[in-house]
Amino acid sequence: METDIRYYRRRACEEMSAASRAVTPAARERRLQLVGLYLDHLKALNAPSPFEERQFAGMIDMLGSKSPAQSAFGWTGTAAKTERA
């Protein structure tokens, strides 16, 4: 059975990869919010991040997200609404 730490590390990496391939800004934002959620879980478990701070910050800058630290549970869908307008 996979440990919680291994699961959260794997999912954070998978979501970061998916964010880099996202077609729309709304999809990219949702993926980055999930990355943040998994990193929060790792932090709560006192586990190291699968990303170096510089690497993570660079990826966020490259993807153009302004608020990667927001919780995925707090997402209101505003990016999706503005795209449809």
**Contact assessment for residue 20 and residue 63, using Cβ atoms and an 8 Å cutoff:** yes
Closest CA to 19 of 43, 41, 36: 36
Q: What is the pLDDT of residues 44-73, one digit of tens each?
A: 998 888 887 665 655 556 555 444 455 555
Q: What is the pLDDT of residues 23-44, one digit of tens each?
A: 999 999 999 999 999 999 999 9
Q: What is the pTM of this model?
A: 0.64
- Residue 73 CA to residue 55 CA, distance in Å, equals 25
**Contact assessment for residue 4 and residue 45, using Cβ atoms and an 8 Å cutoff:** yes
**Contact assessment for residue 3 and residue 42, using Cβ atoms and an 8 Å cutoff:** no
